[in-house]
Amino acid sequence: MTLARHFAVPVVIVINKADLNDAQAARIEDIASAHGSRVIGKIPFDRAVNSALMAGKTVLDYGQTPAAAVIRNIGQEIRNIAAAKQ
């Protein structure tokens, strides 16, 4: 985060498999906040991720899954952040 701050690059956090350990996810959010950042997405554990990999597809191409929905939202949030920087 220090290097990103030096170059004025916004830092945002994504928590993968966020629902597997609520305490750890909360700790990550606290750390992000303490460093002036924020969590923009919490990807849930989703067995479809492995199924997508086995099928040779991306999670987004595989179908409408819980993880895919969150990843799409994260992508939009990143686009919004990038647009605001311009």
Average pLDDT, the chain: 94
Give yes or no for residue 86 having a pLDDT over 80: no
Tokens representing 63 are 């179908």
Per-residue confidence at 72, pLDDT binned at 50, 70, 90? Answer: very high
pLDDT for res 32:
95
pTM given for the model: 0.88
Q: Calculate mean pLDDT across residues 21-45.
A: 96
Question: DSSP letter string over 18-66?
Answer: GGG-HHHHHHHHHHHHHTT-EEEEEEPP-HHHHHHHHTT--HHHH-S-H
Tokens representing 49 are 């991720």
Facing residues of 39 across strands? 13
